[in-house]
Amino acid sequence: MSIVNQIEHLRYEATDPHMDGYYCWDKKKQLYEILWTAQKCLAACSTFVGEDEWVLSKEKSNESN
């Protein structure tokens, strides 16, 4: 299972109406941990040629979903 699929699975579990708040909140906390870790890792990386355009196109496609 890819990391993206694992994150989507956490989203599903965090929003599952059949589960209680304790379970869902734990899954949401995991999503926050992933977010903060990814932001820290991205901040440590260099910027590459074409990166800005690629990120912008991905952001636009994510907005339409």
The DSSP element (H or E) to which 26 belongs, if any, is helix 21-44
Total-model pTM = 0.84
More confident residue, 63 or 55: 55
Domain boundaries, the chain: 3-63
DSSP at 10: H
- For the stretch 10-62, pLDDT in tens is 999 999 999 999 999 999 999 999 999 999 999 999 999 999 999 999 999 98
User: What is the C-alpha to C-alpha distance for residues 18 and 16, in angstroms, rounded to an integer?
Assistant: 5
The predicted structure's pLDDT at residue 45: 98
